[in-house]
Structure 1
Amino acid sequence: MHNTVKNLIYIEDLIKSRVNDDKLPKIIAVSKTFPIKNILPLIEHGHLHYGENKVQEALDKWTDVKKQNNNIKLHLIGSLQTNKVKFALRVFEYIHSLDSERLAKKIADEQIKQDKKPKIFIQVNIGNEEQKSGLKKDKLISFYKFCKSLNLDIIGTMCIPPNNENTEKYFTEMNKINQELKLKDLSMGMSGDYLDAVEKNATYVRIGSKIFGIRD
């Protein structure tokens, strides 16, 4: 058995030890920067959810693979520029980084043109960090209503919490925000903190190095 598959199974078992079966999150194997040969063992194992940061890299890497494996679901977990939206919709089923009205409008226009409706997370700047993208918490309700008026399929919220010892606090806050908006899905938790995230009701966790190893 390939190491990546062993790593995935180990992570799945750890998660199962923390939450009930009906609350098991989907694991997004963050495959950004890794060539497809490193990812194929997971595809052959039957894993379906993969995360990429860059639209062009995803198009180059996944277009042919997805034609042969049409169950694969690709998640854009990096920020999305408006000029890349039409290309993003060609390859991604999920967008995790919606955080502006301009981007929302562009996706709304493009999904009509392509007759394709991605599932979308609103990115929340949960730590109010200047250097990070994401919506401020006090703008969230009005932005959500705006997105719904554009007929966007908003399924949940997403965050990248501050890199300190307080991730549990931020995950608790995100869970509360999600419940207030009555959203089903919550994208949070990465290789270093995914177990804390699943205990706070994350439904998607984004795990890269713990599956694929350290990036060059």
Structure 2
Amino acid sequence: MHYTVKNLLDIENDIKIYLNKLNIKNIPKIVAVSKTFKIDEIMPLIQHGHFDYGENKVQEAMEKWTELKKKNSKIKLHMIGRLQTNKVKFAVQLFDYIHSVDSTKLAKKIADEQNRIKKKIKIFLQINIGDENQKSGINKNAIEELVSYCKKMNLDIIGLMCIPPLNTDSEKYFEEMKKLNRFLGFSELSMGMSSDFLLAVKYSSTYVRVGSKIFGKRS
């Protein structure tokens, strides 16, 4: 068994045991964050039957996934990094999910592109939950406005996404995100990475974005 498959099975098992203890029924989707890893390192996971992958650069994703997605329609690609408006055209063609929409400008660009090629992708709105200057995401106080704009643009908003501040206890941020997501009436929530995915599922995360725990350290 390839080490990536073993790592994925371990993560799935850890989540099941943890959620059982908490008596939570919802099992989250694991997005294997494959950015910077070559296709030959990803292939064993695809052959095992894992189909959700996260990339943060449009160019790299196009080079890696364009042909593979043509051959395997089960593969779902998640854009998890900051999306520049000049890359939207390519992103909408290739990705199935965008986790990082944080402005009306970006939302408008995606809506226009979707209308142009008659494709609808699932979208998370990224919240800057720690209010950090250097981080993408919309301020939580401006989220309702963005939600109503996206609905007007006929975007398929399925939930919120966040990346809590580094080296802090993520718990309070996850708890806040859960409340905000519920207040806005969304059923999906994208939060939790290799270091804190168990804590994220405790607070109803339905998509966890796990990279190094599956693929190992990035060089």
TM-score, structure 1 length as denominator? 0.98
Residue of 83, 86, 93 corresponding to 1:83: 86
Distance 1:94 1:26 in 2: 13
Pair 1:74 & 2:56 matched: no
Instruction: Report the equivalent of 1:147.
Output: 150
Instruction: Report the equivalent of 2:214.
Output: 211
Instruction: Report the equivalent of 2:45.
Output: 42
The offset of 1:164, in angstroms, is 2.7
Residue of 101, 115, 118 corresponding to 1:115: 118
The offset of 1:9, in angstroms, is 0.0
The offset of 1:22, in angstroms, is 3.7
Question: 1:90-109, aligned counterparts within 5 Å?
Answer: 90-109=93-112
2:50 counterpart SS class: coil
Runs of 4+ in 1 over 2 A off after TM superposition: none
Instruction: Report the equivalent of 2:186.
Output: 183
Query: What amino acid is aligned across from residue 46 of structure 2 in structure 1?
Result: I
1:179 counterpart SS class: helix
Unaligned runs of 5+ in 1: none
Instruction: Report the equivalent of 2:66.
Output: 63
2:132 counterpart SS class: coil
Question: 1:128-143, aligned counterparts within 5 Å?
Answer: 128-143=131-146
The offset of 1:68, in angstroms, is 1.3
Query: What amino acid is aligned across from residue 19 of structure 1 in structure 2?
Result: L
Aligned length: 216
Q: Deviations 1:130-174 (Å, cap 9, x if unpaired)? A: 110100010011110111000000000000001133200000000
Unaligned runs of 5+ in 2: none
**CA root-mean-square deviation:** 0.8
Distance 1:97 1:46 in 2: 26
Distance 2:167 2:183 in 1: 26
The offset of 1:67, in angstroms, is 1.2
1:19 counterpart SS class: helix
TM-score, structure 2 length as denominator? 0.97
Instruction: Report the equivalent of 1:11.
Output: 11
Pair 1:198 & 2:195 matched: no
Pair 1:2 & 2:2 matched: yes
Identity of aligned residues (%): 62
1:17 counterpart SS class: helix
Instruction: Report the equivalent of 2:128.
Output: 125
2:37 counterpart SS class: coil
Distance 1:40 1:10 in 2: 18
